[in-house]
Amino acid sequence: MKQRDAVLLGAAAFLVAAIAVAGMKQGGKSNFLGNANDNAKAMIDQGRHTFRFDTYGDEAFWTDQLHIQQSVKTLSPGTALMLGLKVDSAALSPSTVQAIKHGMVNLNDPAVTLQLIKQNAVLGVVGTFNGSALTRVGFTCALCHSTVDNSVAPGIGNRIDGLANRDLNVGAIIATAPNLQPVVDLLRLAPQDESVTAQDVRNVLNSWGPGKFDAELFLDGKTSNPAQITNGITTATNISGAVLIPNALGLAGHNLHTWTGGWGTVTYWNAFVAVNELHGIGTFFDERFDDATQFPIAAAAKLGHVSVDPDSDRVTGKLAALHFYQLSLPSVQPRPGIDFNVAAAERGDELFSGKANCNSCHHEPLWTEPGWNQHSAEEMKIDSFEADRSPGHAYQTMTLAGVFVRERGLFMFPQNKGRFYHDGRFQTLMDVVNSYDARFNLGLTEQEKHDLVEYLKSL
């Protein structure tokens, strides 16, 4: 290159760079450096879409293996609502919403259910259609972790992403699948379950009840808690190993997740659920699953070493935005005078960090510990069944933000309200407080217990 050309080229390069810098200054945007606000917005949009509508290709399991589309085809809208499936009214035409309000929609006609699925109106259920025929069904995160505000009818209204569906009978829905052999084959990998049958699996699934799911069943094959649970309120044995579906909102700032905490962060659990529970097509890695004593099924089926080719991986590329979206979801805010008594809550606030000592674990205003937020069963003075099913052998200090929703039974069937702690062993917040009072010898008076409950409802 001649010297003159080189100088010209250098000048041209300088000009291009100067224009780029000027452009950056003008618009404040540059793909090179990125922009946090734009990025946040794009992540939320993408994450919301994934959370609501992405099946990660899990039709390969639910349709191709379990043939669940066959039972979905025969599901009337009435039965679907009874099973706790929710309908997004925003996805329906105004005339359909009016027809529902006036009782003009036939709730006994399975064709109506298919129409709803086709319009993407059934939360968490994604259908593939050939004309009007349903050919494939898959599930998304929204199935369990969202519900509706019931503004049109019970079970029909606006979506609330992140709020647990406490009505959803996941077990009963899976139990309708015509072919449970793939689940049977998995459970037979546990030494104690070599002779398990499809009927056994159906019995276990039907023992879960509304608002519950057992994510660890497919790791350890355990179906029920043999411990005698005595908490000053109730005594029960062999209660189902399923746990309540927690909220997937209000979790920003929390380190460990799920009832037992020991798995990891939100994004750990998202990857695990997408690959090993929904059975989407993706990669998941956790060497702790190789412990055949704790996780006989996971170790034998190598569930901690699921690896697919990057080009066919339908999970990994979505984890960042999915995580971001979940962390952006706020918890539901209680309304003074409606959801709680203000004066009583103020007195309860003093007790919470004083005599009742709740703040030592549920640290205000995060309501869990900043840091390693879990405690042994011994420390909690409860049985260790569920804790021992997780690598951390402990229980996570669950958030208290928004507990009033359950106490008041908002956005759920009245019969499913309340239910606190992982297995719902406490029916009401007063039951929870009575139990802490007994377990930790707090010596609270009846008035103090009442004030503490009002405070919990104000969070």
Instruction: Answer yes or no whether residue 170 interacts with ligand HEC by CB under 6 A.
Output: yes
User: Binding to ligand HEC (CB under 6 A): which residues in 264-293?
Assistant: 266, 269-270, 273-274, 278
Instruction: Answer yes or no whether residue 397 interacts with ligand HEC by CB under 6 A.
Output: yes
Token pair for residue 3? 């010297």
Token pair for residue 298? 């996971």
Of the candidate spans 95-103, 152-160, 294-302, 355-363, the one that interacts with ligand HEC by CB under 6 A turns out to be 355-363
Residue selected from 144, 196, 299, 459 as contacting ligand HEC according to rule CB under 6 A: 144
Token pair for residue 393? 């052998």
* C-beta closer to ligand HEC: residue 96 or 146: 146
Of the candidate spans 17-25, 59-67, 77-85, 432-440, the one that interacts with ligand HEC by CB under 6 A turns out to be 432-440
Question: What is the C-alpha radius of gyration for the chain, rounded to an integer number of angstroms?
Answer: 25
Nearest-approach distance from CB 287 to ligand HEC, in angstroms? 20
Instruction: Answer yes or no whether residue 215 interacts with ligand HEC by CB under 6 A.
Output: yes
* C-beta closer to ligand HEC: residue 107 or 268: 268
Nearest-approach distance from CB 399 to ligand HEC, in angstroms? 7
User: Binding to ligand HEC (CB under 6 A): which residues in 323-352?
Assistant: 326
Between CA 375 and CA 261 the distance in angstroms is 9
Residue selected from 246, 353, 410, 450 as contacting ligand HEC according to rule CB under 6 A: 246
Between CA 410 and CA 27 the distance in angstroms is 45
Between CA 358 and CA 364 the distance in angstroms is 10
Between CA 218 and CA 299 the distance in angstroms is 11
Residue selected from 432, 434, 451, 454 as contacting ligand HEC according to rule CB under 6 A: 432
Between CA 53 and CA 142 the distance in angstroms is 8
Q: How many residues does the chain have?
A: 459
Between CA 305 and CA 160 the distance in angstroms is 34
* C-beta closer to ligand HEC: residue 95 or 415: 415
User: Binding to ligand HEC (CB under 6 A): which residues in 436-455?
Assistant: 436, 452
Instruction: Answer yes or no whether residue 356 interacts with ligand HEC by CB under 6 A.
Output: yes
Best CA proximity match to 329, nearest among 47, 16, 28: 47
Q: Which residues contact 211 (CB under 8 A, 6 or more apart)?
A: 84, 164, 165, 166, 167, 168, 244, 245, 412, 416, 419, 424
Q: Are 228 and 435 in contact (CB under 8 A)?
A: no
Written as one letter, the residue type at 57 is G
Binding site for ligand HEC (CB under 6 A): 139, 141, 143-145, 170, 213, 215-216, 243, 245-246, 248, 251, 257-260, 266, 269-270, 273-274, 278, 322, 326, 356-358, 360-362, 375, 379-380, 395-398, 400, 403, 420-422, 429, 432-433, 436, 452, 456
